[in-house]
Each structure stands twice: as C-alpha cells, then as structure tokens.
Amino acid sequence: MMSIPHIGPDKHQRDDTWSRLLERVGHARDEQAFAKLFAHFAPLIKGFCLGNLNSNFPADAAEEVVQEVMFKVWQKAPSYDATKAAASTWIYTVMRNCRIDLMRRNKRTPTDKDGIDIDDIWDEADDDQAFVYLQQSSNEALIDRSFTQLPPEQRQVLTQVYMQGKTHQQISDETGLPLGTVKSRVRIGLKKMQTLIVGAEKLAEKNRESWQ
C-alpha cells in the first residue's frame, strides 16, 4: 500500500483556533478575530507579567506590556506564518522581545543610541535562511503536558527563568541556591521533558502504524 506523505504533527496542531484567528488578523486585518485573540491572550500576558513582581520590572507596567504586546501582534501579524509556529509560540516571542525592550528602556544609558534592534538579536522571523527541517520539532500540546509533569523544583526554576526573564546567575543570587544547582535543575528539567516527549511521540507513531 502506498503511504500518504506525512505532514508531521505540527501541521495538524496548527489547526488550532488561535492560529487561524491570527492568520485572519494578518491577512484580512480582521478586527473581530483580533478582539477574540485579545480576550484570550491579554489576561494571560498580564498574569505572566505579574508573576514577575519581585524583579526589576515595575509592577504597574503589566498593563503597559499588554498594550505594547498586542499592538505589536497587530503590526506584525502579516508576517505570521502558521506553518512555522503556533499562535501561542509566536505571541510568546513577541511578548519576550517587548519585555526586553521595555526593560532596556527603563535603564537606558547614553551609549544605547548605537544599540541594535532587539528584534534583530531575538530574530524569530528568519526569512532568508534556507534551513531544511527534516523533522518538525515536537508539538505544543506535548510540550505543555510534559512541562506540567516535571518535579516542582525543576518546574519552578524554569518558570523563574521564563517569567522573570532572569539569568541563572540572578536566580542564584536571589534564591541563595548555588549557580551549579540552578544550571543543573534547568538542564535536568529540559532533559526530562525531552524524554517524556519522545516517549509520547513513539506511542503516537505506534498507534498510527497499527491504524494503517
């Protein structure tokens, strides 16, 4: 029997509501689709930022970040490509870049006028790269699930890294944990997620084979 070319788990996953809405915002400048995205993501972005209270990131800035991120989402939506990233991942990177930008702006020094664009350094667009993805990276649902299965101390340190945007050194300084412990928790956490993901993918593959 001839096998049907397999598009990969990502392509299928991309069929989610948010990615389709974001495409409509990008292609048709659809304000209703944008309103739905806002209603879902704005409170999450605010919640994510408020997980951030004890950092040098001002607490009252959460609303400002929400405005800034969703403004950029609207502006950049035409470049969104659903075959490359799910809406939530794409919005995460827009949010991360906004936050870096805002934090830099808060402690700007005179030399910063020569600075290069944050979006150039944290470049997710990657338009002229001829990378061939032989294998799609794992889908978001699996990553979501594997993250919740991590032991608390690994989940906590990864949450600190991402939510507070702190370097390993800063986390070590603040928590009193040795730097090596912070580093190894991050590494072991990521490795464990990888094992969980590979296990789940193998299982899915097996089910697919038996189905064919």
Partner 1 sequence: MITHHPDDNLLTEYSSGSLANAVGVIVCAHLQTCPHCRKRVEQLNKLGAAILNQSVAEAVQPESFAQLMTRIRSNSEAAASDKASTPQQKPQELHPAYANDPLLKHLPKIIAKLLPRDGKLKWERVSGSLKTARLKTGQSQYEVAFQRISSGGKVVEHDHRGLEVTMVLCGSFSDEDGVYNQGDFLVRNPGEIHRPTATQNQDCLCISVVEAPVKVTGLFGKLVNPFLSFRPA
Footprint of partner 1 on residues 68-87 (CB under 8 A)? 70-71, 74, 85-86
Show contacts with partner 1 in window 188-207 (CB under 8 A). Answer: 190, 193
Number of residues that bind partner 1 (CB under 8 A): 74
Give the max Cα distance, the chain: 68
In whole angstroms, give the CA distance from residue 133 to residue 13: 17
**Rounded to the nearest 10 degrees, how much is the dihedral formed by the CA atoms of 93, 153, 140, 33?**
-50
Chain position carrying tokens 């409509």: 24
Q: Is 161 in the site for partner 1 (CB under 8 A)?
A: yes
For the CB of residue 210, give the shortest distance to partner 1 in the complex, in Å.
28
Show contacts with partner 1 in window 25-64 (CB under 8 A). Answer: 31, 35, 38-39, 42-48, 50-51, 62-63
Q: Is 152 in the site for partner 1 (CB under 8 A)?
A: no
Nearest to 66 by CA among 95, 86, 106, 40: 95
For the CB of residue 77, give the shortest distance to partner 1 in the complex, in Å.
11
For the CB of residue 131, give the shortest distance to partner 1 in the complex, in Å.
5
Instruction: Sort 85 into a burial class: Cβ within 10 Å, 0-12 / 13-18 / 19+.
Output: buried
Stretch that binds partner 1, among 1-9, 125-133, 201-209 (CB under 8 A): 125-133
Q: Is 212 in the site for partner 1 (CB under 8 A)?
A: no
For the CB of residue 206, give the shortest distance to partner 1 in the complex, in Å.
22
Q: Is 94 in the site for partner 1 (CB under 8 A)?
A: no
For the CB of residue 126, give the shortest distance to partner 1 in the complex, in Å.
8
Stretch that binds partner 1, among 1-9, 185-193, 200-208 (CB under 8 A): 185-193
Alpha helices in the chain, H assignment, sequence order: 9-13, 17-28, 31-50, 62-76, 87-106, 118-121, 140-148, 152-164, 168-175, 179-211
In whole angstroms, give the CA distance from residue 95 to residue 49: 10
For the CB of residue 39, give the shortest distance to partner 1 in the complex, in Å.
8
Instruction: Sort 90 into a burial class: Cβ within 10 Å, 0-12 / 13-18 / 19+.
Output: buried
Show contacts with partner 1 in window 6-25 (CB under 8 A). Answer: none
